[in-house]
Amino acid sequence: MKKLKHEAELYKVAMLAGIKYAEGRGVVEFEATDSASEKLLYLYRLMVHDKVMQALPEDQVAEKSLRHKLTMWYVKQLPKDHPLLK
């Protein structure tokens, strides 16, 4: 798993983009009381179901790997010259 230079910042933006994706599909409305871990797991399962991202083996489904996977999903949507990719 290759660590990105600005992975923490990218993860925050990726989480917002993932929430927008899920809510845009009309399948969920996240509440302010939902934990980040719950949102992350839901986004992962939804995106795997939609075939937006490839599933991990069940024994590798952990918060750290899901954070990285969501971040990489978002990075692939960014232009090559995006400031957070430098």
Domain ranges (residues) in the chain: 7-77
Residue by residue, pLDDT tens for the chain (86 residues) are 677 888 999 999 999 999 999 999 999 999 999 999 999 999 999 999 999 999 999 999 999 999 999 999 999 999 989 888 88
Which residues contact residue 46 at a Cβ distance below 8 angstroms, ignoring those fewer than 6 apart?
Answer: 21, 22, 25, 27, 28
Is 0.75 surpassed by the pTM of this model? yes
Topology annotation, domain 7-77: Four Helix Bundle (Hemerythrin (Met), subunit A) (1.20.120)
Helices within 1-86 (DSSP H only):
7-25, 36-49, 63-75
